[in-house]
Homo-oligomer: A and B are copies of this chain.
Amino acid sequence: MTRPDACKPVALSRSYRLLNHGPVTLVTSAHEGRRNIMSASWAMPLDFDPPKVAVVIDKNTFTRELIEGSGRFALNIPTRALAQRVLAAGSSSGRESDKLAELGFEVFEGSTAGLPLVAGCAGWLECRILPEVALQARHDLFLAEVVAAWADPAIFAEGRWHFGDESQRTLHYIAGGAFFATGDAFEI
């Protein structure tokens, strides 16, 4: 599909705010005609400018092969409306089949050719991995620079979250199929 109206650019200097509150992510990747999606809770910002992220990608995953092949991945920030598919994306491998299609995810492209972004998410970070091969091997940890960022302006605009209703809230994973929705905002 073409890039939807619900996906607008986010300034790179503010892109860390998509991940700062610790939401669940969906990691998408593609390489040599294959593509995949997996859920990941172990992702966080690493730096502001240029924006960088850190994410744990287990060495047994098909996503790992695609990321090591292409050097690219995207962190998609799903909403509660997608929670069931987020759980499913973390429960099976995409090695033998196209998990994105199987789970009914619609995807589009941002600015990285061939890298699928998941429609219906609140935000998206397109990332290029940093050459930290030893770290990847020892700890399954990938460091990456954010090269493009996007958000649904109905949910995130001017660097701030604006959850309209429960279904738009982002997710925080507990364990065993249980999540928290992002709760109420307050200021000190």
Report which A residues bind B (CB closer than 8 A): 17, 20-23, 41-47, 52, 54, 56, 80, 83-84, 87, 132, 135, 139-141, 143, 159-161, 169, 172-188
- Contact of B181 with A181 in the complex, beta carbons under 8 Å: no
- Contact of A185 with B178 in the complex, beta carbons under 8 Å: yes
Copies of this protein in the complex: 2
Can you name 8 extra interface pairs (CB under 8 A) apart from A83-B186, A172-B183? Answer: A21-B22, A22-B23, A44-B56, A84-B188, A87-B188, A160-B178, A161-B180, A179-B188
- Contact of A188 with B182 in the complex, beta carbons under 8 Å: no
- Contact of B188 with A83 in the complex, beta carbons under 8 Å: yes
The A interface is mostly helix, strand or loop, or mixed, namely strand
Most-contacted residue by chain B among A17, A83, A87, A135 (CB, 10 A): A135
- Contact of B172 with A182 in the complex, beta carbons under 8 Å: yes
How far, in whole Å, are A185 and B44 apart by their CA atoms in the complex?
21
Chain B residues, Cβ within 8 Å of A141: 46, 54, 143
Chain B residues, Cβ within 8 Å of A56: 44-47
How far, in whole Å, are A177 and B22 apart by their CA atoms in the complex?
16
What is the distance, in angstroms, from A160's C-beta to the closest C-beta of chain B? 7
